A and B are shown apart, each in its own frame.
Chain A
Amino acid sequence: MAISTSTPPDGAPGIGAERQRRRTLLHRLDVRGAPYAFVAPFFVVFAAFSFYPLIYTSWISLHRVELSTLNLMEWVAFDNYTALWDDDRFWNALFNTFTIGVLSTVPQLLMALGLAHLLNYRLRGSTFFRVAALTPYATSVGAAALVFTMLFERDFGMINWMLSLFGVDNIDWENNKWAAQTAISSIVIWRWTGYNALLYLAAMQAIPRDRYEAAAIDGASRWQQFLKVTVPGIRSTIVFTIVLSTIGATQLFGEPLIFGQGPNGITGGADNQYQTLGLLLYEEGWKNYQMGRAATVAWAMFLVLILVFVVQRIVKRVLARRA
């Protein structure tokens, strides 16, 4: 409130020069220091919970160390990294993370766009629909994944029962690679579509109505209006959701873990058919108890994210130049 005041405090007459000087100093400290004090909590929390773990993780990743004997660390330099590079499981997990990411992100964002477009019309009970769209997001990963696991169960699951009405034989959702990845993606889609739809909706409402009117006068259909007015109008929001979803997809963990349940969840299926990078990290750290190798996977994930970010920037720049 008064941080920006720059006039010196009015000193009562008769105060000594010394006191005056101290007061000026305090004042300066107040004006200059207070902002730092205000932002300090963030940096302190960041240092304690993000920066320090990051550095310590990289330190651990250069050692061979087990969870039960964390005090015994054996220096192995970059062996963990070269081993990871040569490990089929890493490339398999990276590929799975990518495919599950695409399988979940693309339909999810397209559906969110459509849903937002529908919600953007004037319709009765719109608030209800908007709240309803957000409900899946409010559900915990665990609950959602458990319910979907039951739905996708091989012998007595509801989805196979419904498919059997159409003459489709029992699908072994868990043991078939693409079936499993589709099932897991459906959990992600179910949880995040409404959330993204509301982001789009908010952006859509900021588009001036007269643009639609002008388009309508020019004879544009609803579909043309959507393509030519709505989508360009919310382009930055779309980019934002793509970035968010990519980060989310890279860290995918809870859904596949619970989908598999027990030892199979940790390894992402008996054949690692749906093991993501997050699961690989968990398997190394909390099933094999090899903390050094787990830390290496964590750093690899970090590097992958940076790579994705860089590629995204380059693509954006190239596209901008072409436009």
Chain B
Amino acid sequence: MDKFRRKLRTRAVAAVSAASALGLVVGCGGSSDGGTGGGKKDGKVTITMGLFGVMGFKETGLLDKYMKEHPNVVIKADVAGDEQTYYTALQTHLAAGSGLKDIQGIEIGRAKELSDTQKDKFVDLAGVAGTDHFLPWKQSQVTTADKKVIGLGTDIGPMAVCYRKDLFQQAGLPTDRDEVAKLWDGDWSKYVATGKRFKQNSKADKVAYMDSSSGLFNAMIYGNSQQFYDKQGELIYKTNPVVKDAWKLASEAATADLTAKLRQFQPGWDPGLANSTFATTVCPAWMLAHISEKAGPKNKGKWDVAKAPKGANWGGAFLGVMDKSPVKKEAQELVAWLTAPEQQAYLFKEIGNFPSSQTALTLPAVVDAKSDYFSGAPIGKIFSAAAQEIPDEQVLGRKDGTIKDIFSQGLTLIEAQNKSPNEAWTTSDERIEKAAG
């Protein structure tokens, strides 16, 4: 009898192991129901959001405020630190049709690719009430050929030049922000010429004039309506004089040893800010928060902001609503609220993200904004003026982000690896062919 029982046990073990093996397979097959995480339950509406970087909605308590005003709404926001990681995940989720949130953030460099290839997966936000207050070019960046709007604008990145007053002074340059702006008024090449003066007269030999040549490159190309692509979506970077000029001037700055050979937002740049290894950096509005945080309290009042030679836009983002979302209507309301003028002005005040709403640009909270850290610079006026100079049409391309990265690396080849500008251009050109062709 005992033997029989033992046999039974064996059989049971075998059955369990076989079943669990099968279970594994089945478990892998049906992983998702295709939802977006949100839904309605017991009168409560749950809205999920996928965000990246510092968009500010969660960080400044805007989401909490919305939930307080709408007691039946629960918002769950996931914030990824790195946009590259975020976008890769978003692409995978879009391709698989699962794992998406109700609301997804869209970085400007990805806007064209998403509106070209994924527009069916987004809700058309064209007719949403109270969303006619954006800068005209902002809205056009996420409008598809058939007039569908896949996202509403959050911030934009009008540019200025952030500089160190103390370092300018010991190099015998003016320190007042209006006089500094006059040094390079209207022409980026005057900015580089000022750098040569700085280098000649500077008494601190370890201080470079600017952090990296790629910042200058970005500022120059983003001041034009066409950059790497034309309106038909064809690559024109090879012949576009805008790109050629920017490359020429940026590589001139690099070969003249005016840069600290750093890469923005990469290791070395933050300690460079804290330890004052460079005197200027081309700064979009959203960069001010980063500079003041990393340069720290000991450099407060040493930094100032001057008008850039020409207005340009670097960066910005959008919020889109997924078509599959079960709470489409509520998500649209939330997106409209988050991108409304009042909220944009609030975000500018709190973390410096500059409004993409035309109405917000007239609000006193924006116009009269001053920065304590940057020697009380009237950043509201400076960046508003820069925003007005941004061309009304901004042509985006599918691989803008990637191409920008490749050019930055091309400039690093000149700066840090002693390649000639021609050689670096050839290398960059080949890389773009492979990445975007």
Contacts and interface: CB of A to CB of B under 8 A. Distances in A.
A2 B10 contact: yes
Q: List 5 A-B pairs, minimum CB-CB distance, nearest first.
A: A270-B412, A175-B416, A34-B14, A270-B409, A263-B405
B416 A150 contact: no
Contacts of A34: 10-11, 13-14
Contacts of A41: 17, 20-21, 24
B91 interface: yes
B17 A68 contact: no
B263 interface: yes
Interface stretch (B39-47, B219-227, B267-275, B300-308): B267-275
A37 B4 CA distance: 20
A175 B418 CA distance: 10
Interface string B379-417: 000000000000000000000001001001110110011
B88 interface: yes
6 contacts: A2-B7, A37-B14, A41-B20, A155-B277, A172-B416, A267-B409
B147 interface: no
Given A30-B10, A40-B17, A68 B416 contact: no
Contacts of A261: 266-267
Interface string B284-323: 0000000000000000000000000000000000000000
A45 B118 contact: no
A155 B269 CA distance: 10
Contacts of A149: 267
B145 interface: no
Contacts, number: 120
A45 B15 CA distance: 17
For chain A, the bracket of interface size reads: 35 or more
Contacts of B272: 155
B129 interface: no
A153 B7 contact: no
Given A37-B18, A149-B267, A286-B88, A68 B413 contact: no
Contacts of A5: 3, 7
Contacts of B11: 26, 30, 34
B106 to A, nearest CB: 13
B14 to A, nearest CB: 4
Given A41-B20, A263-B408, A264-B266, A48 B25 contact: yes
Contacts of B261: 172
Given A70-B95, A270-B409, 16 more contacts: A2-B3, A3-B10, A9-B7, A33-B14, A34-B11, A34-B14, A37-B14, A37-B15, A38-B14, A48-B24, A153-B271, A155-B275, A156-B275, A175-B412, A262-B263, A266-B84
Contact of A156 (B3, B28, B91, B271): B271
Interface in B5-33: 6-7, 9-11, 13-15, 17-18, 20-22, 24-25, 28
A44 interface: yes
B416 A44 contact: no
B92 interface: yes
B70 interface: no
Contact of B268 (A26, A154, A270): A154
Contacts of A271: 413, 417, 419, 427
Contacts of B113: 68
A69 interface: yes
Given A67-B91, A288-B402, A264 B263 contact: yes
Contacts of A38: 14, 17
B425 to A, nearest CB: 14
Contacts of B268: 153-156
A45 B28 CA distance: 10
A68 B267 CA distance: 30
Contacts of B28: 48
Nearest to A31: B10
Interface string A264-293: 101100110000000000000011110000
A152 B222 CA distance: 34
Contacts of B410: 270
Nearest to A83: B434
